């Protein structure tokens, strides 16, 4: 259907579109660890295939078709992550790179059967919603801890940073999905956050607070 490179571009553009309406060449280059000139080349190609809206110097957005393709890739990625953790017992910090390869397996019939095999899960091991076979999925209504007031309590439900390093840190602190926490104090000096979990106090830096999401 589409080449591996095309799929990766579409996925990157989709991800960046969540933050800004129009996505810039440099943003895509950073996301894919490639050069801006390479991005320009690919954008021309994707525009020709009617997967993105692109005018020179103006940034890009996905067309309806492009968005459909991107969501499908995300569906595949998240279902494979769920499979790896739930069926093959990998840890949540081990699955990203494998799923990155597996998301490009092209058969939709395969992915629908995998979905059924696992009982149509609604979230992947990192708390991200899994689109259904029609591409529908809940918008994430989770909030970063950094955006929550003191004395509010909630349940750890997702992460913004999916890196192994970050997930391993959370694991070590016991800050895993499903845990109930209360925001106790925000240190004004460096915006570190002290939270209470299972009657223990844990201090996390602002960086961590930005990347750890809770449901209220």
Binding residues vs a second copy (CB under 8 A): 84, 87-90, 97-98, 101-102, 104-107, 110, 113-114, 117
Return all residues near 48 (Cβ < 8 A) that are at least 6 apart.
none
Q: Which one of DNA, a second copy, none interacts with residue 45, CB within 5 to 8 A by kind?
A: DNA
Rule CB under 7 A: choose which of 1, 19, 21, 37 binds DNA: 37
Measured distance CA(24)–CA(55) in Å, rounded: 11
Of DNA, a second copy, none, which one does residue 44 interact with (CB within 5 to 8 Å by kind)?
Answer: DNA
- Cα–Cα distance measured from residue 190 to residue 88, given in angstroms and rounded to the nearest whole number: 41
42 binds DNA (CB under 7 A): yes
Instruction: Give alpha helix (H) positions in 18-63.
Output: 25-32, 36-48
CB nearer to a second copy: give 60 or 102. 102
Closest C-alpha to 68, from 134, 20, 130, 116: 134
Three-state DSSP class for 129?
strand
41 binds DNA (CB under 7 A): yes
Rounded CA-CA distance 202/93 in Å is 21
The Cα–Cα gap between 55 and 139 comes to: 29
202 sits in which H/E element: strand 200-204
**Binding partner selected for residue 98 from a second copy, DNA, none, CB under the kind-specific 5 to 8 Å limit:** a second copy
Contacting range for DNA; rule: CB under 7 A; set: 28-36, 120-128, 157-165, 172-180: 28-36
Q: Using CB distances below 5 to 8 A depending on partner kind, what does residue 114 bind out of a second copy, DNA, none?
A: a second copy
Residues between 49 and 88 that touch DNA (CB under 7 A): 54, 56-59
Query: Could you tell me where the beta strands, DSSP code E, fall in 46-123?
Result: 52-54, 60-62
Question: Is 44 near DNA (CB under 7 A)?
Answer: yes
Q: Which does 42 bind (CB under 5 to 8 A by kind): a second copy, DNA, none?
A: DNA
Binding site for DNA (CB under 7 A): 3-6, 24-27, 32, 34-45, 54, 56-59
């Amino acid at each position: 259907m589409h080449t591996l490179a095309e799929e990766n571009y579409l996925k990157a553009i989709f991800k960046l579109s969540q933050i800004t309406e129009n996505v810039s060449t440099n943003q895509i280059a950073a996301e894919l660890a490639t050069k801006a000139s390479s991005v320009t080349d690919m954008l021309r190609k994707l525009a020709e295939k009617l997967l993105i809206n692109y005018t020179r110097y103006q940034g890009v957005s996905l067309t309806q078709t492009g968005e459909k393709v991107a969501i499908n890739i995300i569906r595949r990625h998240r279902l494979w992550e769920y499979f790896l953790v739930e069926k093959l017992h990998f840890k949540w910090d081990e699955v990203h790179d494998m799923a990155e390869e597996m998301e490009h397996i092209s058969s939709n019939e395969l992915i629908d059967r995998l979905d059924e095999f696992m009982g149509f899960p609604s979230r992947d091991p990192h708390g991200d919603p899994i689109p259904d076979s029609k591409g529908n999925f809940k918008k994430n209504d989770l909030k970063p801890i950094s955006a929550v007031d003191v004395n509010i309590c909630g349940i750890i439900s997702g992460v913004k940073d999916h890196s192994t390093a970050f997930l391993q840190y959370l694991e070590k602190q016991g800050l895993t999905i499903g845990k109930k926490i209360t925001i106790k104090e925000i240190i004004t000096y460096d915006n570190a956050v002290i939270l209470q979990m299972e009657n223990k106090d844990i201090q996390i830096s602002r960086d961590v607070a930005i990347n750890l999401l809770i449901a209220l």
